[in-house]
Amino acid sequence: MTERARYLKSFAVELGVYGALVTVYFFLVLHFLARWIEHLYRTNTRGYAVAAILLIVGQGIVLEMLTSALLRFIRARKE
């Protein structure tokens, strides 16, 4: 198998694992978060603005750690 094919295979595996994790995340976190965040949007604009920043920053850091860890794990297995 060529190096490029090996990379493509590892990307496909990573994408599959990531897709499964994100689906769980959709149902467990975003589904329950939606009502609360919508209520906050309607009743407390300042609180909503702060929560919006914290949520996107938090998700940014967590997903970056997750994708980096997945890449490291797949590369370590390949070697």
Tell me which residues touch another protein (CB under 8 A).
4, 7, 11, 14-15, 18, 22, 25-26, 30, 33-35, 37-38, 41, 45-46, 48-53, 55-57, 59-61, 63-64, 66-68, 71
Residue 55's alpha-carbon distances to 2, 7, 49, 66, 75, in angstroms, are 41, 32, 10, 16, 30
In the complex, minimum distance from the CB of residue 1 to another protein, in angstroms, rounded to a whole number? 16
Determine the Cα–Cα distance for residues 58 and 54; give it in Å rounded to an integer: 6
CB of 22 to another protein, least distance (A): 5
